[in-house]
Amino acid sequence: MKKTKKKNDFRWGIATSSYQIEGAHDLHGRGPSVWDVFSHSKGRVKNGDNGDIACDHYHRFPEDIKLMKDLGVDSYRFSISWPRIFPIGTENKVNQPGMDFYDRLVDELLENDITPFVTLNHWDIPQGLEDLGGWTNRDMVEQFVKYSHYLSRGLGDRVSNWITHNEPWCISFLGYVEGRKPPGLKNEWAKSLHTAHHLLLSHGKAVPEIKSNVKNAKVGITLNLNTAIPASDSEYDKKECAFYDAQFNRLYLDPLYKQKYPELLFDRLLEKEAIKQSDLNFIQEGDLKIISTPTDFLGVNYYSRAVIRDESIDEKLNENHKIPMGPKTDFGWEVYPRGIYDLLKRLQDEYNVNEIMITENGCSYGDAPDKNNKVNDIKRVEYHRSHIEQILLAVDEGIPCTGYFAWSLMDNFEWAEGYSQRFGLIWVDFESLERVPKESYYWYQNFLKSQK
Ligand code: FCB
């Protein structure tokens, strides 16, 4: 594959998140997160798995950083476990041993010439804050600003790259409409909207807070976005697709970049009687201005596209127009590399985003070590190769995409799927915790060499 035009500016990285890899759930004063409680509740996570030990990265981070160094990435995106810093959440003093862990992690990264990208909220908020209503409660905004303040003050002398939230859609929609993530509620559309709003508002308020503590800070938010297309030309599917796009993409992009919410979403929810008019009183004067506070980049997590059909319509009515689908990963997500190009183009054309970083992109395949201890995950190699190709095409066309973080360094706790879905470039034996680099790890290593 050819080199990127502005190769010196483009960052090549790898990503993880705290609850998915750290383990050490009750060490050094860490309080319970919503994910500890959720994963320990019966029936919430496949096979009853939890993140108590996960990859034990908390103890093995020097080994993991060595693997990153050998891989050749210049950047590493990880997240902070909020309840390591504030065990209940409401404290006004940090839990120093928790802070010390991230201090050591950052120092070790810098010693290895790897630039840290810190995500503040990758979902594992303190249960103590959830007990007060979590993100449905507007007070969370100030809690998040406080947390951002202490973190950026503590690490800001060495960390310049900050991501406020990871994938607000997963928190608000999967947490309150589908119930697949904490707090596990279903069809609570009003709570879902309030959650989205408070996440966005807290992001907007945290941006200047971080900047005031960190010299030359680059601050952004990470959204999971996709390209949505109707499954047929029928008016039903088109209407359903517009609704999907509004709740998945535009609910976040429109306020961040256009200072407004997509009316279409509220209208449809009122029409479906999923919310009442009074549920929409959550937007206070000045909120949208704060939400749209300019950022330095937009983080984008892309995995697949969405092909939308109106499920309430008889299959026979629109089956003629079904579009062909690509192969699926072990998670059942369609492999559709062109979608990442289409998305980048949309972000430029429709939202005029100043800078974009792909903060996650990856796939789940179960390939395990063979008798020679080799993991021949060729489908993963092709997944990353084909997506990077599309990104570089966009870069060549002048779309301001400046980085790529593969998800993920190693197999880990994949939320409600437990350890059953493997996204890593490194295979993890969850009994012995041995790490085995997969073929995709060596492919990425060679690719990164070719970019130097
Ligand atoms: C994203 C999450 C990440 C990981 C991948 C597969 O939605 O941000 O933690 O679970 O999906």
Assess if residue 405 is contained within a domain: yes
- CATH number of residue 324's parent domain: 3.20.20.80
Provide the domain limits for residue 292: 7-450
Assess if residue 2 is contained within a domain: no
What per-residue string of b and e applies to 342-369 under the rule 16 or more CB within 10 Å gives b?
bbbeebbeebebeebbbbbbbbbbebee
Report how far apart, in Å, the C-alpha atoms of 420 and of each of 2, 220, 415 are: 35, 31, 10
C-beta of 301 in contact with ligand 1 (< 6 A)? yes
The tens digit of pLDDT for each residue in 414-443 reads: 999 999 999 999 999 999 999 999 999 999
- Ligand 1 atom with the smallest distance to the CA of 364 is 6
What one-letter code names the amino acid at 423?
A: F
57-66, 183-192, 323-332: the lowest-pLDDT one: 323-332
Strand 426-428 versus strand 435-437 pairing type: antiparallel
C-beta of 82 in contact with ligand 1 (< 6 A)? no
Assess if residue 1 is contained within a domain: no
Ligand 1: which residue has its CA nearest to atom 10? 414
Q: Which positions ≥6 away from 192 have C-beta within 8 Å?
A: 172, 173, 175, 176, 177
Mean pLDDT computed over 262-286 = 96
> What is the sign, positive or negative, of the torsion defined by CA atoms of 90, 93, 97, 102?
positive
Q: How far is the CA of 284 from the centre of ligand 1 (A)?
A: 31
Q: What is the rounded CA–CA span in Å between residue 109 and residue 306?
A: 36
Mean pLDDT computed over 34-57 = 98
What one-letter code names the amino acid at 347?
A: L
Assess if residue 111 is contained within a domain: yes
- Ligand 1 atom with the smallest distance to the CA of 331 is 6
What's the whole-number average pLDDT of the chain?
Answer: 96
Assess if residue 427 is contained within a domain: yes
Catalytic residues: 167, 360
Assess if residue 188 is contained within a domain: yes
C-beta of 124 in contact with ligand 1 (< 6 A)? no
- Counted domains in the chain: 1
Assess if residue 59 is contained within a domain: yes
Mean pLDDT computed over 270-282 = 96
Q: How far is the CA of 280 from the centre of ligand 1 (A)?
A: 29
Given this model, what pLDDT does residue 318 score?
61
The tens digit of pLDDT for each residue in 295-343 reads: 999 999 999 999 998 888 776 666 666 788 899 999 999 999 999 999 9
C-beta of 121 in contact with ligand 1 (< 6 A)? no
The answer to whether the beta carbons of residues 181 and 38 sit under 8 Å apart is yes
Q: How far is the CA of 271 from the centre of ligand 1 (A)?
A: 32
The tens digit of pLDDT for each residue in 76-113 reads: 999 999 999 999 999 999 999 999 999 999 999 999 99
Number of residues in the chain: 452
C-beta of 361 in contact with ligand 1 (< 6 A)? no
The tens digit of pLDDT for each residue in 210-263 reads: 999 999 999 999 999 999 999 988 888 999 999 999 999 999 999 999 999 999
Q: Which tokens belong to 129?
A: 């804050």
Mean pLDDT computed over 169-186 = 97
C-beta of 360 in contact with ligand 1 (< 6 A)? yes
Q: How far is the CA of 83 from the centre of ligand 1 (A)?
A: 20
The answer to whether the beta carbons of residues 164 and 207 sit under 8 Å apart is yes
Assess if residue 369 is contained within a domain: yes
End-to-end CA distance of the chain: 13
Whether the per-residue pLDDT at 151 is higher than 80: the answer is yes
